[in-house]
Amino acid sequence: MKGISSETIKEALLIIFFLSNCCLSEASLQEFIISSDTELDMINPSSSSNSFGLTIVVWQQQIKDELSQLVYANRYFIYGKVINSNGNLVYGPFRVSENPSYILDKFPLPDAILSNIDPDVAINDKGQFVVAWELDDIKSDNAGLLLVRLFKIYQNDSGE
């Protein structure tokens, strides 16, 4: 987040560039709008595509309390979407990361203020994908926990 202002992020749509069919040519470079929500910061996108053109896009998005509508600065959940090679939504958005308090029950970190950051994703041709991210204590310089979650997208042999 350093070097990028919230205003810059909010003014711009989260646009992800990715290569289709694993080819590096100008004709295969496609641009799709993943989210046009400009209320919350959405940063650090990552994407991965399989040979069927199925793409998983993940990003970190500011936490907004459902009841109070309060937006927490520097606190994030990890979200994702699944799109096909035409840019059509297959599934999502879905939240990848758990509420950090759930993690604290398993790994007590006294006085920690936790945030889910820096997601990365990989997918195979069976529609299985893994998302990895860091659960960081934004209050200290201590190293965070590395978390992963496995997913399965059900598809037929042609990738649909």
Q: Average pLDDT over the chain, rounded to whole?
A: 74
Calpha distance 11→102 (Å, rounded):
33
**Rounded to two decimals, what is the model's pTM?**
0.72
Lay out the sheet containing 42-49: strands in order across.
Answer: 42-49, 55-64, 71-83, 89-95
**Cα–Cα distances in Å, from 78 out to 57, 93, 110?**
11, 10, 23
- 14-59 pLDDT, tens per residue? 333 333 333 333 434 566 677 767 788 889 999 999 998 899 999 9
Q: Would you call 47 helix, strand, or coil by DSSP?
A: strand
- 49-108 pLDDT, tens per residue? 999 889 999 999 988 887 888 888 888 899 999 998 888 899 989 999 876 666 666 666
